[in-house]
Amino acid sequence: MNNIKTPQTGARIVILTGAGISQESGLETFRDPDGIWAKVRIEDVATPEAFARDPERVHAFYNMRRKRAATLDLKPNAAHMALAALEQKWPGEVLVVTQNVDSFHERAGTTNLIHMHGRHAEARCNDCAHVVEWSGDMSLADVCQACGRAGGMRPNVVWFGETPREMDQIQSALLDCDHFISIGTSGNVYPAAGFVGLMRKLGCGHTVELNLEPSQGASLFAEAHYGPATEIVPRYVAALLEAV
């Protein structure tokens, strides 16, 4: 892997990840030819309107994904592990902002982590906003442990048209960061897809894309390395740590 610009020791690193980092762990991506949105429409399963219109259909969609991530015993892969190692060994702050709703980053050991699109291993009550860890199937019959009402439990994820989580913290981290790395995302979904443009516009920090292929925003990155995440991410992290 050549032409790597290594950040200064102590530099603040922000890493954005998308579905591509979990693909080699066995989870489908969204926009690859065999991806999730090739089989089901966003409007039918991933908006608040869809949940209001047909909650059981939305529950079935997330129940299937939650079950797949759990029962097939899918695990974090070498890319997730490499990012956890970077957080432990890099002499500076490393923040992972993931668009993914799976738990592979935390299971790999990453602690400084924001799930900007939520987690499907949590449920949230539409009536009282109580959040609880959730592993099995969810349905309209489920009762909120806090307010006692049924029919309002929903996956604690951010649907299209909803506001992503921790945006203030993310934006200030981007403004402060010296090194922005985007991994396994097609650059289709905003505001995440706009982070690299924000970095460019403000002239703050170096930007790197690590992806299977050039994303929608590829031309905005100062540096890019392409290939499967389990190959290029560990190699990239090793190069950064070599310079420490």
Instruction: Provide the binding-site residues for ligand BV8, judged by CB under 6 A.
Output: 18-20, 23-24, 29-32, 35, 46, 99-101, 117, 157-164, 167, 184-186, 188-191, 211-213, 215, 228-229
* Per-residue DSSP letter, 25: G
Rounded distance between C-alpha atoms, residue 121 and residue 196, angstroms: 29
Which residue out of 80, 117, 179, 206 is catalytically annotated?
Answer: 117
Contact criterion met (CB below 8 Å) for 207 and 222: yes
**Residue 59 catalytic?**
no
- Please report how close the Cβ of residue 91 comes to ligand BV8 at its closest, in angstroms: 27
Task: Name which of 119 and 206 has its Cβ closer to ligand BV8.
Answer: 119
Task: Name which of 11 and 208 has its Cβ closer to ligand BV8.
Answer: 208
Nearest residue relative to ligand BV8 (C-beta): 20
Rounded distance between C-alpha atoms, residue 63 and residue 54, angstroms: 14
Rounded distance between C-alpha atoms, residue 244 and residue 237, angstroms: 11
User: What is the chain's Cα-based Rg?
Assistant: 18
- Please report how close the Cβ of residue 68 comes to ligand BV8 at its closest, in angstroms: 12
- Please report how close the Cβ of residue 132 comes to ligand BV8 at its closest, in angstroms: 18
| The pairing of beta strand 153-157 with beta strand 223-226 | unpaired
Active-site positions read 117
